[in-house]
A and B are shown apart, each in its own frame.
Chain A
């Protein structure tokens, strides 16, 4: 994408706006950026020549935004993506909103046309800050090079929190080329705002509910990951033997093997988790936001429970579910206070209730594969049985995502990375690229469906170019499986445009990109294929050709309650 008529500039490492951008990024701790060049952002790319900042060239701007998200989700550091003006910037939108929905800290930098061309419908001009406004925490355009450093620093502060999220900085190309004083490494910087925490009286009010409870349940969400509060969540649940469940973003927060962990909550969650929350008299909701995929019908959700809601964002309190006690503040500070105050008081233990709750549900229901065919759930069971304990798993979106979420064994929430709030197909592979860049020594696996994989399939070239040993477990059922499932269950089996039976030969495609690839279509071949898959040191694809009619169970139909849960019996479908 080249802006016609743009002057070709190749300045030395003088203090231009572009140079300043890179210096500020480096000073903010950024070591790698994900992006795609084009006309308006050329001065910034020019400044990268000889600069130690590592740049990962993706094959589409959307992948750059997803990769920045994967980097941030897996590391806790701010992910950075960049693109040029107009279409480059608009291609970032989905990945930026994806980070907004899951509270992931990223900074997006876009080139803009020269200042005098803004508002003229010039080539590759778009009102990017307005487009990005609703999908970011803040979206700003730098109109004076003297404001550049201040705005970039502020972008990082705002992205980091208190509730993390994306910030966009749009920079016209003349600002990138303009002369500016070099960055002063010793200049005083604004101090990040102090962490807020609830006062002791509010903490005690929450604990008082717990002290008198008979059937309390804790629900943990992505806030525990953002606040680095996982160990405190484990301590809190452990000291009280409190039964607990997790939203999809909270998976990995529970102590591995904790018998009081009830599994994932929500539409495709474990029966024990959903029934326990439904029966609870007190719910401790920690860093979660009562998404409709968790609550089903909100007026029927945990109806008998008094809700204690801990969140850093006051706008979440009472948004969906009425709250008895609101604990506003950083979740690490909140849980520290809860643990400390609970240790000072005579608190009950809930092991008996936890065992009762656990008994509400048994094994996951699953459809049986026709004789000789491979089922996706068998493939995923086999995968998780042999995956390294500290592997980072990303998923795309759809049935495989839910099957993986049900079966994952993450030892930390940064090890299970998924597009939860937005549900963006095409997320899995670029997110794995970001995660691998942040964790070069770790095993990183992208679990993808055949639909989402094809939305980012060109990123196989990125794997190859940077020799990233990302592994792709492709669950190919030749369908847009989740939509197909809903068509089967809720649209009287009218299968409208969900057939992908003309998929390409994925093994051949991967090999064409220089990626090692293998196909399995029989459950008996899985074990050996997985061994080779995990042994490979290079980027690798394992194509699992699965039967197409398998559904995700359990399923609480949209807008329904736990009592309407379906576990595979079609006759149970509500009218």
Chain B
């Protein structure tokens, strides 16, 4: 599963790594570029399909809160 994520706070990467590990997944590639005030992360995740689905859903929630914090 490859996700392109927009981060307002780059420290969210730490949370993403923690969640990935907690759900029994791993990441095989991480690429982050910083923009003017946003960070663009492209991350390849590996793991059981169910866990990846949960990870995807939880990352969506995390990024929604990140977006709200930046308003």
- A and B together in one complex: yes
Interface positions, chain A 115-132, Cβ under 8 Å from B, are: 129-130
Pairwise interchain contact A314-B68, C-beta atoms closer than 8 A: no
Contacts of B70 in A (CB 8 A): 154
List the B side residues contacting A154 at CB < 8 Å.
68-71
Decide: A314 and B18 in contact? CB cutoff 8 A: no
Name which of B14, B53, B54, B69 has the most chain A CB atoms within 10 A of its CB. B69
Q: Complex formed: what's the CA distance from A155 to B65 in Å? A: 10
With contacts A133-B15, A134-B18 taken as known, whether A158 is within 8 angstroms of B68 at the C-beta atoms is yes
Residue A391 lies at the interface, judged by CB distance under 8 Å to chain B: no
Contact of B54 with A140 in the complex, beta carbons under 8 Å? no
* Least CB separation from B56: chain A residue: A315
Known: A313-B61, A318-B53. A133 touches B68 (CB 8 A): no
- Check A130–B14 contact: CB distance below 8 A: yes
Chain A residues contacting B14 (CB-CB under 8 Å) are 130, 133
Cβ-defined contact, A138 with B66, below 8 A: yes
Please report the C-alpha to C-alpha distance between residue A318 and residue B51 in the assembled complex, in whole angstroms. 11
Q: B57: which of A151, A155, A190, A314 is its contact (CB, 8 Å)? A: A314
B29 to chain A, nearest CB (A): 23
Interface residues on A, range: 20 to 34
- Cross-chain contact A138 with B69 (CB below 8 angstroms): yes
Instruction: Tell me if B9 counts as interface (CB < 8 A to partner A).
Output: yes
A464–B70 Cα gap in the complex (Å)? 42
A315 touches B61 (CB 8 A): yes
- Cβ-defined contact, B60 with A158, below 8 A: no
Residue A504 interfacial (CB < 8 Å): no
> Which residues of the other chain, B, contact A484 by a CB distance below 8 angstroms?
none
7-24 of chain B: CB within 8 A of chain A:
9, 11, 14-15, 18, 22
CB < 8 Å neighbour of B65 from A158, A318, A319: A158
Given A315-B54, A315-B60, A319-B54, are A140 and B69 neighbors across the interface (CB < 8 Å)?
yes
Size category of the binding interface on chain B = 10 to 19
A158 touches B15 (CB 8 A): no
**Within 8 Å CB of A138, what residues of B?**
65-66, 69
* Complex Cα–Cα for A151 and B66 (A): 11
A157 located at the interface, meaning its Cβ lies under 8 Å from any Cβ of chain B in the complex: yes
Task: Tell which of B22, B57, B66, B71 touches A315, judged by Cβ atoms closer than 8 Å.
Answer: B57
Within 8 A of B (CB), among A144-167: 151, 154-155, 157-158, 163
- Interface contact tally, CB-CB below 8 A: 43
Decide yes or no whether A137 CB sits under 8 A from chain B.
yes
In the bound complex, do residue B71 and residue A151 qualify as a contact, i.e. CB atoms below 8 Å apart?
A: no
A139 CB to closest chain B CB, in angstroms? 9
Which residues of B26-62 are within 8 A (CB) of A?
53-54, 57-58, 60-61
Chain B hits for A155, CB < 8 A: 69
The residue of chain B having its C-beta at the shortest distance from the C-beta of A191 within the complex is B71
B45 CB → nearest A CB, Å: 15
Q: How far is the CA of A134 from the CA of B68 in the complex (A)?
A: 18
- Cβ of B15: which chain A residues have Cβ within 8 Å of it? 133-134
How far does the alpha carbon of A138 sit from the alpha carbon of B9 in the complex, in Å?
10
A193 contacts the other chain (CB 8 A): yes
Chain B residues whose CB sits within 8 angstroms of the CB of A151 once the complex forms? 69
Which residues from chain B contact A140 at a C-beta distance below 8 Å? 9, 69
Q: How many whole Å from B19's CB to the nearest CB in chain A?
A: 8
Give the chain B neighbours of A163 by CB distance below 8 A: 61
A158 touches B69 (CB 8 A): yes
Query: A168: shortest Cβ distance to chain B, in Å?
Result: 11
Closest A residue by C-beta to B18: A134
Give CA–CA (A154, B68) in the complex, Å: 7
Instruction: Provide the bound-state CA to CA distance between A143 and B61, in Å.
Output: 25
Q: Which residues of chain A are within 8 angstroms of B69 by Cβ–Cβ distance?
A: 138, 140, 151, 154-155, 158
Chain B's closest residue to A134 (CB) is B18
- Chain A residue with the shortest CB-CB distance to B22: A134
> For B68, what are the chain A residues with a Cβ–Cβ distance below 8 Å?
154, 157-158, 193
Q: How far is the CA of A138 from the CA of B54 in the complex (A)?
A: 19
CB distance from A37 to the nearest CB of B (A): 27
Kindly report which residue of chain B lies nearest to residue A133, judged by CB atoms. Answer: B15
> How far, in Å, is B69 (CB) from chain A's closest CB?
4
Query: Which chain B residue lies CB-closest to A315?
Result: B57
Give the chain A neighbours of B57 by CB distance below 8 A.
314-315, 317, 319
Chain A residue contacts of B60, Cβ below 8 A: 314-315
Q: How far is the CA of A137 from the CA of B71 in the complex (A)?
A: 16
Q: Give CA–CA (A315, B71) in the complex, Å.
A: 23
Is A129 a contact of B54 with CB atoms below 8 Å?
no
**Considering residues B11, B53, B54, B65, which has the most beta carbons from chain A within 10 angstroms of its beta carbon?**
B65
- What CA separation (Å) do A157 and B67 show in the bound complex? 11
CA distance A514 to B42 in the complex (A): 60
Q: Shortest CB–CB separation between residue B2 and chain A, in angstroms?
A: 19
CB distance from A156 to the nearest CB of B (A): 11
Question: Do A137 and B65 touch (CB < 8 A)?
Answer: yes
* 10 pairs of residues in contact across A and B, judged by CB atoms under 8 Å: A130-B11, A130-B14, A138-B66, A140-B9, A140-B69, A151-B69, A158-B69, A190-B71, A314-B57, A319-B57
Since A133-B18, A155-B69 are in contact, a sample of 14 more A-B pairs with Cβ atoms closer than 8 Å, ordered by chain A residue number, is A129-B11, A130-B14, A133-B15, A134-B18, A137-B65, A140-B9, A140-B69, A154-B68, A154-B70, A163-B61, A190-B71, A313-B61, A314-B61, A315-B60
Which residues of A are interface residues toward B (Cβ below 8 A)? 129-130, 133-134, 137-138, 140, 151, 154-155, 157-158, 163, 190, 193, 313-315, 317-319
Nearest first, the 4 closest Cβ-Cβ pairs linking A and B are A315-B57, A154-B69, A190-B71, A137-B65
